[in-house]
Amino acid sequence: MADKGTGTADAVRPETPPGDGGAALVELRGAGKSYGNVRALHDVSLAVRPGRVTCVLGDNGAGKSTLIKIISGLHQHSEGELLVDGTAVRFSTPREALARGIATVYQDLATVPLMPVWRNFFLGSEMTRGPWPVRRLDIARMKRTADDELRNMGIVLDDLDRPIGTLSGGQRQSVAIARAVHFGARVLILDEPTAALGVKQSGVVLKYMAAARDRGLGVIFITHNPHHAYMVGDHFSVLRLGTLELSADRGEIGLEELTDHMAGGVELAALKHELAQVRGVDVQRLPEAEDLGSSAPASPEEAS
Amino acid sequence: MSTAGPAATAPPAPGPRTADGRTARRPLALRLLARPEVGVFLGAAAVFVFFLIAAPSVRSGGSMATVLYQSSTIGLMALPVALLMIGGEFDLSAGVAVITSALTASMLSYQLTVNVWAGVVVALVLSLAIGAFNGWMMVRTGLPSFLVTLGTFLILQGVNLAVTKLVTDNVATDDISDMDGFGQARKIFASSFDVGGVQVKITVVWWLVFAALATWVLLRTRYGNWVFAVGGDQDSARAVGVPVTFTKITLFMAVGFGAWFVGMHQLFSFNTVQSGEGVGQELIYIAAAVIGGCLLTGGHGSAIGPVFGAFMFGMVNQGIVYAGWNPDWFKAFLGVMLLGATLVNLWVRRTATRR
């Protein structure tokens, strides 16, 4: 399965990411967030650069949602800094984040199922023409623009008038991504876009994610699937219990190691010693703690 | 899921398509059926033909005018109720709000002995305020509109009776037909005009004008886009920047406007208002909207569908009389129609949205 994953990865990602490096569009420096007594996120640093996919991995409750809520403006951080284009900011609404070019595509908050594709594409930012009392939708221009923009992303739909609910989950996500790109997003936050999708549909979404990256956007890909992350990711951050457990560039880490981290590798290694006391449990193939490159930042030498 | 229709790019998907990928439009018949007003149009045509055959007296111009008048009084309110339903909400107070508006205009003018237009304007403000209150309460509390407007329904029903009794010592308001401005207002809200020897009520014209306006707003303006969006998926709509609160409150206010208009019609055509009326009418409006192809849960429907829905109601209502049957059957007939229309809508939507 892992082999298959990496095989597809080569097809999706180019050998050298286009906008490699460049100044960070969005950066977190030692950021954290507490809800009353609960510390949901602590001392997390993360940089999103143009033309690169930054993957944020973590189990349920690891703080992934809190992280994107800070960047997308739904919540404010209570420690550390959030920098956009190098200057510290503090968003109070998602609209402010959007105005700075930070768009979020939520897994379930993407589209209105019964409305046609083109109406969904422009929902909330409709094109109009004519003076006020007779100001009306510029339907022809909207349909044309939506079609062009979707084709630019490599999405070809036969009929933009059909309800978007009749498209597959992956296509809906793709339309939402194309919409964010069209409306000037420089940073695209994708919240578990592949979580509810089948293998084929996930591939479709990953492809458009790569297309957005190739257009020079900084992409933040939230997921708990290391295989999906490794297919498109340039940088991997693993969150555990609200802190950064691992932060590594693609060159520094392999898929297996990433998977081990995601599977709670450090905990599993500790568990291994306990399980070894119990008869009938095969512990030979579980990783040792020292195999896992302790904690962030992981060094590849240790792992190999 | 794997048999998805238009696949994204290179991987060929099943189904007829060219390299362009744009050909797999659904057949014309299916696309027509997907329009919310087609089912009700066929239903209305069937009812019309049925009564043309069963009741010969329907065939005269005079009885057609009566049918249209009956339809227009339902249709004028069914329009905003349908828009509100597309926006995902109900208004159970729509029936009694009509009477509240008429009572306000009538009593205010009579008691203060002012021009009736003063009463008309105050009634408009009050009706819009009731709509805004319904919307605001619903948005603020997050309660279902069913509950909020059920409350308003009961409040208005009680206030109508109690205040009328208090002010006039009667269950009806005093006749205002000899007051200043009455003739003028009557011209606008309750006059008739001659078409080839047949007297047609002006409400029929208003009904069709408002229906055309509502259709244009719904399909051709940003606001219409927002109405579909807030009814279809409120959270998605909010996430992409649609002003959900504004849209919902203004939809409730549109119902208030409709209630005012119908209330003024009743006042100026009968000169007095019975304070206990209006109860039960809200369900007729909702039924006309549903028969007209509006989805009860919101997000789908049209403004022209409820026009045919209201016509069906008017036709059956008058047709039974013209056919010489016992009018007690009217409600039973309506119930059957409502169920039939709902089933047709359900079938149509499933057929049309199937991939």
Prediction ipTM score: 0.80
Enumerate long-range contacts of A16-19, CB under 8 Å, 24 or more apart: A17/A51, A17/A52, A17/A213, A17/A234, A18/A51, A18/A213, A18/A214, A18/A216, A19/A49, A19/A50, A19/A51, A19/A52, A19/A216
Which residue from B6, B216, B228 is facing A158, i.e. has the nearest CB? B6
- Upstream peptide bond of A94 is cis (omega within 30 degrees of 0): no
CB contact under 8 A, B228 and A112: yes
The reply to whether residue B236 touches residue A109, judged by beta carbons under 8 angstroms, is: yes
Q: Please give the average per-residue pLDDT across A47-57, as a whole number.
A: 92
- Element holding B199 (H helix, E strand): strand B198-201
Q: Which residues pair with B195 in a beta bridge?
A: B198
Task: Assess whether pLDDT exceeds 50 at residue B16.
Answer: no
- pLDDT bucket at A184, cuts 50 / 70 / 90: confident
B19-73 pLDDT tens trace: 444 445 567 776 676 677 777 888 888 889 999 998 888 888 899 999 999 999 9
Nearest residue of chain B to residue A157 (CA atoms): B6
Cβ–Cβ below 8 Å for A168 and B299: no
Q: Which of A 176-205 lie inside 8 A of B, CB atoms? A: 198, 200-201, 204
**Helix, coil or strand: residue B277:** coil
Cα B254 from Cα B78, distance rounded (Å): 11
Per-residue DSSP letter, A126: -
Q: Flag whether pLDDT at B212 surpasses 50.
A: yes
In this prediction, residue B213 has a pLDDT band, given cuts at 50, 70 and 90, of: very high
DSSP at A299: -
pLDDT (mean) for B134-155: 94
| Whether pLDDT at A230 is above 50 | yes
Architecture of the CATH domain A2-101+186-303: 3-Layer(aba) Sandwich (3.40)
Q: Which of A98, A123, A174 sits opposite B237 (nearest CB)?
A: A123
Write the DSSP assignment of B167-196 as a string of letters: HHSSSBPPP-TTSTTHHHHHHHHH-EEEET
- Judging contacts by C-beta atoms under 8 Å, the chain A residues touching residue B9 are 154-156, 207
Interchain CB contact of A73 with B (< 8 Å): no
First to last CA, chain B: 10
Q: How far apart are CA A275 and CA B178, in angstroms?
A: 97
Contact indicator for A48, A24 with CB cutoff of 8 Å: yes
> Which helix (H) or strand (E) covers residue B230, if one does?
helix B222-232
Average pLDDT over residues A98-103: 87
Query: Shortest Cα distance from B232 to chain A (angstroms)?
Result: 6
In this predicted structure, what is the pLDDT of residue A301?
41
Contact assignment for A115 to B229 by CB distance below 8 Å: yes
CB contact residues (below 8 A), chain B span 218-247, against chain A: 220-222, 224-225, 228-229, 232-233, 235-237, 239-242
Quick check: A115 and A163 in contact, CB under 8 A?
Answer: yes
Burial of A212 (0-12, 13-18, 19+ CB in 10 A): buried
- Spell out which residues of chain A touch residue B85, defining contact as CB-CB under 8 Å: none
Contact by Cβ (8 Å): A126, A90: no
Return the residue in A107, A168, A197, A204 with the most chain B beta carbons within 10 A, the one to mutate for interface testing: A168
Q: Which of B68, B92, B96, B70 is nearest to B81 (CA)?
A: B92
Q: Out of A197-201, A246-250, B92-96, B248-252, pick the least confident.
A: A197-201
Name the average pLDDT for chain B: 87
Comparing B11 with A262, the larger pLDDT belongs to A262
pLDDT of A164 strictly over 80:
yes
A135 interfaces chain B, CB cutoff of 8 Å: yes
State percent of chain A over pLDDT 90: 17
Residue of B5, B235, B299 with shortest CB distance to A109: B235
Q: In the A/B pair of chains, how many CB contacts fall below 8 A? A: 113
Half-sphere CA count of A288, side-chain side, radius 13 A: 6
pTM given for the model? 0.80
More confident residue, B252 or B320: B252
What's the rounded mean pLDDT across residues B79-106? 95
Q: Return the domain boundaries, chain A.
A: 2-101+186-303
> What are the strands, taking DSSP E only, across chain A?
26-35, 38-48, 53-58, 79-84, 87-88, 102-105, 128-129, 136-137, 187-191, 218-223, 235-240, 243-249
Which residue did the predictor score with more confidence, A263 or A162? A162
Nearest CB to A113 within list B26, B232, B239:
B232
> What count of Cα atoms within 13 Å lies in the side-chain half-sphere of residue B60?
10
Q: 3-state DSSP call for residue B305?
A: helix
Report the residue of B225, B234, B355 to disrupt the A interface, i.e. the one with the largest count of A CBs within 10 Å.
Answer: B225
> What pLDDT was estimated at residue B24?
54
User: Are residues A76 and A70 in contact, defined by beta-carbon separation less than 8 angstroms?
Assistant: yes
Report CB contact under 8 Å: B220, A119. no
Question: Are the beta carbons of B252 and B135 closer than 8 angstroms?
Answer: yes
Q: Which of B6, B229, B235 sits opposite A157 (nearest CB)?
A: B6
Query: Mutate which of A68, A158, A166 to test chain B, going by most B C-beta atoms within 10 A?
Result: A158
Of A101, A104, A51, nearest to A211 by C-alpha is: A51
Q: Which of A129-143, A149-163, B76-90, B122-136 has the lowest mean pLDDT?
A: A149-163
Give the Cα separation of B299 and B282 in Å (integer). Answer: 20
Split at pLDDT 50, 70, 90, the class of B229 is very high
The fold adopted by the segment(s) B36-353 is ABC transporter involved in vitamin B12 uptake, BtuC (1.10.3470)
pLDDT at B326: 87
Provide, for chain B, the percentages of residues in helix, strand and coil under a 3-state DSSP scheme, each rounded to the nearest 5: 70, 5, 25
pLDDT at A62: 83
List B residues 58-117 in contact with A (Cβ-Cβ < 8 A): none
Nearest-Cα distance to chain A for B165, in Å, is 43
Q: How many CA atoms lie within 13 A of B22 on its CB side?
A: 7
pLDDT for residue A59: 81
pLDDT at A8 over 50: no
Q: Mean pLDDT throughout A91-96?
A: 81
DSSP string of A237-269? EEEETTEEEEEEEGGG--HHHHHHHHTTHHHHH
**Which stretches of A109-242 are assigned E, i.e. beta strand?**
128-129, 136-137, 187-191, 218-223, 235-240
Tell me the residues of chain B between 3 and 22 that have a Cβ less than 8 Å away from chain A.
4-6, 8-9, 11, 17, 20-22
Q: What is the pLDDT of residues B312-332, one digit of tens each?
A: 999 988 898 888 888 888 888
pLDDT at A275: 74
Helix then strand then coil, in percent of chain A rounded to 5, is 40, 25, 40
Per-residue confidence (pLDDT) for residue A171, from 0 to 100: 82
| Least trusted range by pLDDT, from A150-154, B251-255, B261-265 | A150-154
pLDDT single digits (tens) B262-295: 999 999 999 999 999 999 899 999 999 988 888 8
Give the model's confidence band at A18: pLDDT under 50 very low, under 70 low, under 90 confident, else very high: very low
The pLDDT confidence band at residue A204, using thresholds 50, 70 and 90, is: confident
Confidence (pLDDT) at B288:
92
Mark yes or no for CB contact A136/B299 under 8 Å: no
Task: Decide if A204 and B8 are in contact by the 8 Å CB cutoff.
Answer: yes
> Which pLDDT score, from 0 to 100, does residue B12 have?
36
How far does the CA of residue A171 sit from the closest CA of chain B (Å)? 7
What was the pLDDT predicted at A282? 63
Please give the structure tokens belonging to residue B329. 């059957």
Residues counted in chain A: 304
Q: Does A75 touch chain B (CB under 8 A)?
A: no
Q: Worst-scoring range by mean pLDDT, A1-5, A130-134, B189-193?
A: A1-5
Residue B348's pLDDT is 65
